[in-house]
Amino acid sequence: MAAEVMNKTLIQNETIILKRECRSKGIFKQLRYLNCLIKEILNSNFYTYYTRGDEMDNKNEFVKDVEYSIRKPFKKTLWRPFCKAINQYEMIQEGDKIAVCISGGKDSMLMAKLFQELKRHNKFPFELVFLVMDPGYNSANRKKIEENAAKLAVPVQIFETTIFDSVYHIEKSPCYLCARMRRGNLYAKAKELGCNKIALGHHYDDVIETILMGMLYGAQIQTMMPKLHSLHFAGMQLIRPMYLIREADIKRWRDQHGLEFLQCACKFTEENHDISNEENKSKRLEIKHLIQELKKVNPFVEGNIFKSVENVNLKTIIAYKDEEGKHMFLDDYDKETI
């Protein structure tokens, strides 16, 4: 009896593996033959389990199409840059538990699907939690996030905060304060769930826009780092696996599948329609337009901005900062030999 059970278990395991291979290759005739073979070898309950599974698969053709598009049509523009960033910047290690933070926009939703694909092909064990923070969305926006998560088969965990209400009456830099509070709440919840990393959906265009914003509006040269340690949550890290993915390619993926995501769910923006377009225009949007204008003259401008922070020569700048403070070029000027 024990041997019979063991043989059935082995057959089941081999069947699952073979079935997955057949699906991935689109070999539907072998798949049907395989089901017939299962029926002859195993009891009817096991066969029923698989035929019901096939019926469920038919209901999830949209999800399968979305996931296939990541592996094939968008492999070069989405999947490869995603994997390259993770490998190049060493974002994931064995045993990590990562909170994939989903805001409801196109970037974070795609990131969730890319992580699901990565989990299927992972070379070492790591865990994922798909985390949604509700900072005070209206009911329509909350429903939109839930519907998109269900449509894309992303098993989200939602937790609520009152961040929008907390910053609503702040006159000076409410967006900055809101962003800081949101990140802090994400760190805290992720740590509560046993995660050691949070993943955010910032992409390549966010990076180059941040570089220019720092120079033009902040009088500093800095970038959005691909990963960093949390200053306030010990043992926690932040990673940005979409770091090398272009926003235009994310939009193409979204439009390919007719998906609609949240644009800006900010409570302040929703309730202040009387503000003129000029007054309400974000600095980031200005930078986007500036880059597009520069690109008309130099088609390589985006790549050059990105690489500029990889090619910093400390001997050719007036001053720089580190943990010890500010250092002027004059500090070591007389020590140099001619």
The CATH number of the domain where 233 resides is what?
Answer: 3.40.50.620
Which residues are CB-contacts of 321 (< 8 A; sequence separation ≥ 6)? 327
Asked if the structure places residue 302 within a domain, the reply is no
Q: pLDDT at position 43, please?
A: 41
Q: Are residues 43 and 68 in the same domain?
A: no
Asked if the structure places residue 320 within a domain, the reply is no
Q: pLDDT at position 50, please?
A: 37
Q: Are residues 158 and 49 in the same domain?
A: no
Q: With the CA atoms of 136, 140, 142 and 144 taken in that order, what torsion angle do they form, in degrees rounded to the nearest 10?
A: -150
Task: Kindly report the backbone phi and psi dihedral angles of residue 152, in degrees, each rounded to the nearest multiple of 5, phi listed first.
Answer: -95, 5
pTM of the model: 0.79
Asked if the structure places residue 318 within a domain, the reply is no
Q: pLDDT at position 51, please?
A: 36
| Rg for the chain, CA atoms, rounded | 25
Q: Are 238 and 197 in contact (CB under 8 A)?
A: yes
Q: Are residues 127 and 226 in the same domain?
A: yes
Q: Are 82 and 114 in contact (CB under 8 A)?
A: yes
Parallel, antiparallel or unpaired: strands 197-199 and 237-239 = parallel
Q: pLDDT at position 276, please?
A: 36
Q: Are residues 68 and 201 in the same domain?
A: yes
In the structure encoding, which two tokens stand for residue 115, read together? 């992580």
Q: Are residues 134 and 182 in the same domain?
A: yes
Asked if the structure places residue 256 within a domain, the reply is yes
Asked if the structure places residue 244 within a domain, the reply is yes
In the structure encoding, which two tokens stand for residue 179, read together? 């962003």
User: Going edge to edge, which strands form the sheet with 156-160?
Assistant: 156-160, 127-134, 97-102, 197-199, 237-239, 227-229
Q: With the CA atoms of 269, 209, 114 and 161 taken in that order, what torsion angle do they form, in degrees rounded to the nearest 10?
A: -30
Q: Are residues 71 and 28 in the same domain?
A: no
Q: Are residues 101 and 16 in the same domain?
A: no
Asked if the structure places residue 329 within a domain, the reply is no
Give the chain's domain count: 2
Q: Are residues 83 and 18 in the same domain?
A: no
Nearest of 16, 120, 18, 17 to residue 64 by alpha carbon: 120
Chain segment 231-261, per-residue pLDDT in tens: 999 999 999 999 999 999 999 999 999 999 9
Nearest of 115, 93, 107, 132 to residue 259 by alpha carbon: 107
Asked if the structure places residue 319 within a domain, the reply is no
Asked if the structure places residue 333 within a domain, the reply is no
Domain boundary among 252, 270, 288: 270
Nearest of 67, 90, 89, 70 to residue 80 by alpha carbon: 70
Which region holds residue 160: left if phi is over 0, alpha if psi is between -120 and 50, else beta?
beta
Q: pLDDT at position 267, please?
A: 58
Q: What distance, in Å, lies between the first and last C-alpha atoms of the chain?
A: 88
Q: Please tell me the distance from the alpha carbon of residue 115 to that of residue 130, in angstroms, as a whole number.
A: 10
Q: Are residues 35 and 104 in the same domain?
A: no
Q: pLDDT at position 3, please?
A: 44
Q: Are residues 40 and 154 in the same domain?
A: no
Q: pLDDT at position 271, please?
A: 54
Q: In sequence order, which ranges of the chain are alpha helices (DSSP H)?
A: 2-25, 28-41, 44-59, 61-71, 80-88, 106-121, 139-151, 163-167, 174-192, 204-218, 247-256, 267-270, 277-280, 283-297, 301-308
Identify the segments of the chain with pLDDT beneath 70.
1-59, 169, 171-173, 264-281, 337-338
Q: Are residues 146 and 105 in the same domain?
A: yes
Nearest of 178, 149, 173, 158 to residue 265 by alpha carbon: 178
Domain boundary among 253, 270, 287: 270
Q: Which domain covers residue 19, as residue numbers?
A: 2-54
Nearest of 254, 264, 259 to residue 138 by alpha carbon: 264
Q: pLDDT at position 24, please?
A: 52
Q: Are residues 138 and 256 in the same domain?
A: yes
Domain boundary among 241, 270, 299: 270
